[in-house]
Amino acid sequence: MTIALATTTPGEPEIFASLQGEGPSAGRPSLFIRLSRCNLACQWCDTAYTWRFTGDNRPHRDDQAFARSTNQLILPEDDVVARLLAFPQDRVVVTGGEPLLQAAALARVLAALKAARPGLHVEIETNGTVAPSPAIDPLIDQFNVSPKLAHSGNPAELALIPERLTAWAADARAFFKFVVASPADCDEVAALQACYGIPGERLFVMPEGTDSETLRGREKWLSALALEQGWRMTDRLHIHLYGDTRGT
């Protein structure tokens, strides 16, 4: 049985240790595994190499297509488990792409990891459109849910599924992280919070950007809006430390 991962370089899976850069766990030493494939297509996505393969014409601001052969790696599940156990970190962050598209394989990997390392904390970074399967749900300690707003370019009927948003809002493990590019995006965040009853202590707003100058510029006005609305604001620590690079 296999699982599809993104790559850092051809033939090398994107498995790496770093500080979590975003959300409620920002600054924590973590072990990351980036899976391939996504069901959405954000026009500003900074990991388009996980889904925008040659022949995929969904819009993206860079309009770049990636060769699947060098940007996606299919590995046996036990190989992935062994690679992850070679790291000492006690917190695993599964990101993508959309990790829950591979829930069956991922559940087997995480079950093996937790059996080998009791107390392991597992975070899933998800766009919030896919329900966790019964097999994977009890293995997850924290869901970092990032619903995509209109500026992502995704139709609302694909990106903002009422049943899923209601379920995430009711799950104490789920933290919402909204990517914001302009003050007008915050009106959409406020409307979604009111509609689904998202608790303010589990709602983060994060500036969109892949360089420090853009992030800092947007944080100036976003911080004031977060304070006004009672939201939490998160930076993108890894961008400041390493730039917009794979494996960081």
What pLDDT, on the 0 to 100 scale, is given for residue 6?
A: 98
Length of the chain in terms of residues written: 248
Question: Which residue positions in the chain have pLDDT lower than 70?
Answer: none
Burial of 53 (0-12, 13-18, 19+ CB in 10 A): middle
Percentage of the chain lying above the pLDDT 70 cut: 100
Q: Per-residue pLDDT tens for 173-202?
A: 999 999 999 999 999 999 999 999 999 999
3-state SS, residue 74 = strand
- The answer to whether 144 and 128 are in contact (CB under 8 A) is no
**Average pLDDT across the chain, whole number:** 98
Cα–Cα distance for residue pair 61/66, rounded to 1 Å? 14
pTM comes to 0.97
